[in-house]
Amino acid sequence: MLPDNLDMQMDVARNANDFSGLDKLRTAARQDEKGALKEVAKHFEAIFVRMMLKSMRDSADVLADEDSPFNSQQVKFYRDMHDQQLATELSNTGGLGLADLIVRQLGGDPNYTPASLVSPDRVYAVPAATSNENQSTDKPARVDMGTRQAAFADKQQFVEALLPLAEQATQNSPVDGLSMIAQAAVETGWGQQMIHSLGGQNSHNLFGIKASKNWQGDRTLIDSVEYKDGSASKVRSAFKAYPGFSDAMQDYVRTLENSPRYSEALKVADNPQTFFSELQQAGYATDPQYANKIMSVLDFVRSVAANAASSR
């Protein structure tokens, strides 16, 4: 909150033709940096709106009647002054919301992550579409805007905690448990970027499986990076939320086994490189390097599993 005297000065400085406004902003920033941030953001939004208005005016002027009295230089001069003040007023009363986004990003809002900070190495998988995935359900599912939080201390703990669960989930499946853990490591950054609800509840979604319309359980909205035609982009999607990691692994196995889309991949499940290449080709993930990334961490998973087995 700006001091009262500065607050009054800033009200005056919001006049588009007050050239001392910048000096007042500097003074405000020295006395209250966070309080001045909002004003700076509003000024930036006003500049942006002013540029849009000028662009629209210039486009209209091309088709304007040169002989019209409303197209004189004097009219344009006062029109531009009006547009400047209009842009300032719009930004001060909410406008496009650009100022609020600037404040959230530069002000350190913990619940805001700009797109530039989303790593292209964090790729979420796209599950197969089944025949009834587009059907609606009468049971409403709880949807929560999520965050990413760590669920494990390090890689070692990640592998050791998931080993017995993977063995159980793949007991009657051709899917290899260690390969599955390696895939989960890539999907979650070794459990350091697990999807959590805003309330802090872990979704236990190890494989980036999205929630289709017929999903009966909870779901969490999250921003993810996906690839299309070789270009990465950020999208917001609903992901499944499970009661525990065991449920996530069992659902992963069911997803592969119940979809004809992955039948070729399951035939070569004993060969991880080929298996993940087939998954990628079938559309499980959009990252062109998906299979290679999983193979790059599989040796570590195997070494931890071997040490765990020898110590039993």
Q: Taking the chain, what is the end-to-end CA distance rounded to the nearest angstrom?
A: 61
Read off the CATH number of the domain in which 246 is found.
Answer: 1.10.530.10
Residue 226 annotated as catalytic? yes
Question: What's the whole-number mean pLDDT along residues 172-188?
Answer: 94
In terms of Cβ atoms closer than 10 Å to its own Cβ (0-12, 13-18, 19+), residue 301 is: buried
Which member of 176, 251, 278, 287 is catalytic?
251
> Number of folded domains in the chain?
2
| Structural domain ending residue among the three candidates 106, 139, 170 | 106
DSSP, res 271: S
55 and 147 fall within a common domain: no
276 and 141 fall within a common domain: yes
In a domain, 139, yes or no: yes
**Chain segment 3-20, per-residue pLDDT in tens:** 545 454 445 445 555 545
In the structure, what pLDDT confidence band is assigned to residue 300 with cuts at 50, 70 and 90?
very high
CA distance 249 to 141: 21
202 and 251 fall within a common domain: yes
The 10 Å CB-count burial string (b at 16+, else e) for 231-264 is ebeeeebbbbbbeebbbbbbbbbebbeebebbee
Q: Helices 177-188 and 272-281 meet at what angle, rounded to 10?
A: 50
68 and 123 fall within a common domain: no
| Structural domain ending residue among the three candidates 106, 130, 149 | 106
Flag whether the pTM goes above 0.75.
no
**Chain segment 134-173, per-residue pLDDT in tens:** 333 333 344 455 677 888 989 999 999 999 999 999 999 9
CA distance 281 to 177: 21
61 and 191 fall within a common domain: no
Q: Residue 190 is which amino acid?
A: W
Q: What is the largest CA-CA distance in the chain?
A: 94
Which member of 45, 187, 226, 278 is catalytic?
226
In a domain, 114, yes or no: no
Tokens of 295: 């193979």
In a domain, 113, yes or no: no
130 and 231 fall within a common domain: yes
66 and 123 fall within a common domain: no
151 and 229 fall within a common domain: yes
83 and 207 fall within a common domain: no
77 and 132 fall within a common domain: no
**Chain segment 39-63, per-residue pLDDT in tens:** 777 777 778 778 877 877 777 766 6
Residue 112 φ then ψ, to 5°: -125, 125
In a domain, 112, yes or no: no
Higher pLDDT, 134 or 206: 206
Start-end of H helices in 239-289:
245-257, 263-267, 272-281
215 and 194 fall within a common domain: yes
Tokens of 289: 């390097």
156 and 304 fall within a common domain: yes
In a domain, 134, yes or no: yes
Residue 270 annotated as catalytic? no
- Kindly tell me if the per-residue pLDDT of 199 is higher than 50: yes
| Structural domain ending residue among the three candidates 82, 106, 130 | 106
Domain encompassing residue 162: 119-310
